Each structure stands twice: as C-alpha cells, then as structure tokens.
Chains A and B, each alone.
Chain A
Amino acid sequence: MAATLDQLFVQLLHGMTAPLPEAIRPWVALAISLGAILAVFGLCFGITTVCERKAIARMQNRLGPNRVGPYGFLQFAADGIKTLTKEDIVPRTADQVVHFLAPLALLVPVVLTFLVLPFGRNMTAMDLEVGLLFFFAAGASTELAVFMAGWSSRNKYSLLGAMRAIAQMLSYELPFILSTIGVVMITGALSTTKIVEAQAAAPGEWLARWHVFTPWGLAAFLLFLIAAFAESNRSPFDLPEGESEIVAGYFIEYSGFKFALFFMAEYLGMFSSSGMAVTLFLGGWTAPFAFLDWVPSWMWFFGKLGVLIALFIWVRGTTPRLRMDQLMDFAWKFMLPLALIILPTAAIWHYAGRGWLGWLVTAPIVVGAYVLLGRSLVGRRRIRQRSYRYAAT
C-alpha cells in the first residue's frame, strides 16, 4: 500500500505514455511532467500569496484579506481574474518588442529549473547527469530578463531597479553556487537524484545522512538559503523593488497580466530555490528517521518545501530592508569567504569521516570562520541602541 502510494504519480505517467510509440515516449513524458509542474506550482503560487498576506497581516496586527471565500481564502482567484481583465498598458516610448519578451524570458528559465528537481522517488522530470548545473544555468538566465524589463520600459526608476537587481543577483550568485560545491564534492555527482539518494539513511542507522546534519553542511545550507533570498529578490533583499525609493523597480511599467507574470516568476523562483535547498541539504524526498520510511516520498519533499516557504514568509514579515552598501559588504566580505572556507572543510570531513573525529576537526573551523568574518564585517563600529534624531520617542 505504502509502495503504491509512493509511486502513484510515476505509475500514472507510465500508464499514460505506455500506449505511445517508443520514439516519442520520452518527449510526451517530459511534456506531461512540465504540465503537471505548471499546474501544481501555479496553484502553490496562488495559495502561497494568500497565506503570505494572512501571515504578514497577523504579524503586523491587522486582518489581511477576508472578503472573498471562507476567511478570504479565495482572494488569489479574485486577483487572478482581476489581472487577466486589466488593461495592458505599454508606454509609448517603450521598446515594444523587448518590453513584450521580458516577462517570457523571465518565466521560461524559472519554470525550466523545476525539471531537474526530484519531487519524490523516481519523480525527476529530466534526470540529467549534470542536473545541478542545469539548475544554475537556467537560473542565471533570469538576470538578462530583468535587464530587458528595466531597460525597455524607458523609465529611470525601472532602469535603476534593474541595475540594482543585476548587481545583487550577480553578487549573490557566487555564494549561491559555491555553497553547493561541498555537497557535490561529498556526493561525487552533479545529478540531483544521486545527491538525494546519497542522503538516505544507511541500513541499520536510525538517522538519515542529510547534509544539514554536518558542520559544513549546516553552514552551507544557511549560506544557500540567504543567497536564495537575495536571488529571488525577497525581503530583506528587496532593494530592486524598494517601494519607498524607486516605486516598484524593474517592473514599474508592466500592468495587467504581464505584471502577474513577473509576480509569478518571483514566487516560482522562490519555490525552485527552496526545492533545491531541500534537495541538496535537507535530504530531498528521504525521511529524517529510518522508521518514518513508510510515508510517501513526495509528501516529504512537499512538506519540507512548505516549511522553507513558511520561513521565507516569516523572514519577510520580520526583517527590515538592507542598505545597498550593507548588501554588497555582506555578499563579498562575509558570504563569499565563508563559502570558500566551507570547501576545504567539506574535504576534511570527507577524510575524517562522519564520526566524532570529523566533528572535532570541522566544527571549530566553521564556527571560527563565522565568528572572525562576522567580527570583521562589523569592524570597529560599536553596536548600541539607535538614537532617533527627528522622531519623538
């Protein structure tokens, strides 16, 4: 029973493609997987927007959406209909072709990144040998789409927002990629499926071998997550669309459904980065404890994904926005060196083994690097309570 439930979707796909001729079967399977990914994560996008608005409203002591459907839960459907029927305004001076292509150039690579995520046992849409590289290659192409949107609008604010976004995404891409290399070194594979399989509990062990349970893995996971916040332009890294300074950033001049596409690409990017964090560090579809193996694998993946998305919402509701110099300092002076230190630490872990010796050697390196880099980032400045010059206290 558990095995059937585990392989339910795999069997379903197999049943749908079995009657087809051999030659086109992989292509049809890929198309069906893509359709399923779009449907599932499109719905996830809608539900997440409502949950996020409700959760942030709760944190800010207000009610949030509460008019459409029970507890305002159908708000996302109303929003969808609204954006579909809204007028699509294109500025007269805008570069019409590039302005039209930008949302598509942003959304397509983001959707492609989902193809290499293992959603469950045997549930990778495109099981490439270089799956991780595919993820980063597709993710890197989104920067150009942001530039296209900002430049083609012929608006100073949108160009400023695009420049901010590109500077931020380029800076945080280095720790984003470097923090995953430790995992590749330990696993010896770039395939996402193999990385997940390497994290399953060995026979006889009660605890799974998730990478986050190691000193270097924990540090790399946090780095990856912070870089994922920055890559998806989420608070506290939402300078590219800082409302108080540049109105809405690179998508100012987009309205109607094109704006919805930008919004959707942002959320889908957040989902795919979280999914990759789950795959690389949180064991993908494997259970944390060996006795929980009967739970279907895809439930584990989506459960972990939900926890990470809740974390994204929580952070957005509770942290203030960074300043541009703080943003750059943090990327180049803290995250990049720490990511570089994690690499040899992972190598030491590989040779010292996962026993107490590995912990004894690698944990002080990671903690020491964290403390020293953090101190040097703060510098000589003393951190004390902020005094407000103009506001009444």
Chain B
Amino acid sequence: MSPIFYFLAMLTLGGAVAAMSLRNPVHCALSLVVTFVGLAGVYLGLGAHFLGLSQVLVYVGAVAILLVFVLLLTRGSGKDEFDERPDRWWPALGVGGGLGGVLIAVVLAQPGLALRTAPPELPTVRALGESLMTDFVLPLQVVGVLLTAALIGAAVLALSDRRRTPQDSGPVTSREEGETRR
C-alpha cells in the first residue's frame, strides 16, 4: 500500500506543479489530467472503487476534453505560450492561501480523522445508490435541476448568436459560458 501511495502522491503533486508552472496552456491542461488520474488512483487505493472510476469517467473523459476545447476555441488560442507575468500576484496568493487554509482547517476539524482507522466495511455501490435514492434524494434532485438549468442556459446563449436580428441584439455570446455545461 505504502509505496503505491507515495507513487500516486508524487504523480498527483507533480501533475499539479507542472500544471501551474508550464508555459504552454495545453501542456498545463494535460498535466492537470495527470493530477486527476493520480487522485483517482488514490481513491481506488482507498477501496472507493465507484468514486475513483467516476473520477476518471467525469474528469478525464469529460472535464479535461472541455478544458482543452475551451483553450483552443477562446481568444488567445493562437498563442503557444503565456508570457504575461501576472502583476497582481498578491491578491491571488491571498485568495488561494485563504481557501487552502479554510479547506485544511475543515479537514483537520473532522472527528473521523483522529481515529486513523478504516471504517468497518466499505459501502458497496448498492448502498451508495440506496442512500442517494432515499436519504439524499432532495439534494440529488436539486443538483439535477441546477445542472439542467445550466445546460439550458448554455444552449440559449449559444443559440442567440444565430437568431439575432438587427433590432434585437441579444446578449453577447462568449464561449466561456459554455463552461457551465458540465
């Protein structure tokens, strides 16, 4: 378990570092995929097979594709490298550090973490599905409605480009709006 975990941890962190430091945006996106795969491997190593495979299916199969599409189709796609150094790095550092601090605090505050023992038995897919369909059916429906609304919104934004008449100049379509689709 342990050497595999360290390998996956290195893969995940290495991918994340490369995603932040590489110059070519497509290389960054591909490095991020390495991070996704590493995380999925960590989930699989923990015995959460459903979660790990869903991670691969959704993030590698869909989100990564969307990412590279957005990179290639939005402005600046002709450029191979980002040369602009961000001037205002300190607000970015503040926001990023603050978010990271909150997340770490939340994780550390979890009572289960102190036990350091595995749960008695891992939930099966059947148990996951049953709890989703009974205890958590309302959150599931809310998420479904939210995603449907985002989907319809994206379709409306994409369609308004074609049907625009001279007197009715609808909202300017931007490809970034499509990002909400998933």
Q: Which residues of A contact B (CB under 8 A)?
A: 95, 98, 128-130, 133-134, 136-138, 140-141, 143-144, 147-148, 151, 166, 170, 173, 188, 190
Pick the contact of B53: A133, A151, A166, A170 (CB < 8 A). A133
Q: Is B28 in the interface zone, CB < 8 Å from A?
A: no
Residue in A133, A136, A151, A166 whose CB lies within 8 Å of B26 = A151
Q: Which of B60-68, B85-93, B110-118 contacts A (4 or more CB under 8 A)?
A: B60-68
Q: A130-B125, A151-B68 are in contact. Are A140 and B57 (CB under 8 A)?
A: yes
Chain B hits for A128, CB < 8 A: 49
- Residues on A with beta carbons closer than 8 Å to the beta carbon of B56: 137-138, 140-141
Q: Give the distance to chain B from A23, nearest Cβ to Cβ, in Å.
A: 12
Task: Find chain B residues with CB under 8 A from A140 CB.
Answer: 56-57, 60-62
Q: Which residue of A lies closest to B49 (CB)?
A: A130
Contacts A129-B124, A144-B33 given; does A137 touch B65 at CB 8 Å: no
Q: Give a binary string over B124-159; 1 marks a CB under 8 Å from any A CB, 0 the rest.
A: 111000000000000000000000000000000000
Give the contacts of B45-79 with A (CB-CB under 8 A).
49-50, 53-54, 56-57, 60-62, 64-65, 68-69, 72
Q: In the docked arrangement, what's the CA distance between A151 and B72, Å?
A: 10
Known A128-B49, A151-B26, A190-B125: A133·B61 in contact at CB below 8 Å:
no
Binding site for A on B (CB under 8 A): 24, 26-27, 30, 33, 49-50, 53-54, 56-57, 60-62, 64-65, 68-69, 72, 124-126
Is the beta-carbon distance between B64 and A130 smaller than 8 angstroms?
Answer: no
A residues near B50, Cβ cutoff 8 Å: 130, 133
Instruction: Report B122 CB to chain A, min CB distance, Å.
Output: 10
Residue of chain B at shortest CB distance from A143: B65
Q: How far is the CB of A191 from chain B (nearest CB, A)?
A: 9
Of B53, B62, B65, B69, chain A has the most CB atoms within 10 Å of the CB of: B53
B15, chain A: closest CB distance, angstroms: 13
Min CB–CB distance A57 → chain B (angstroms):
37
Contact A137 B68 (CB under 8 A): no
Which B residues lie within 8 Å of A148 (CB)? 30
Cα–Cα, bound, A166→B69 (Å) = 10
Chain A, residue nearest B64 (CB)? A144
Chain B neighbourhood of A170, CB < 8 A: 62, 65
Measured CB to CB, the closest approach of chain A to B59, in angstroms, equals 10
Once the chains bind, are B124 and A137 in contact (CB under 8 Å)? no
Question: Which of B27, B30, B69 has the most chain A CB within a 10 Å cutoff?
Answer: B30
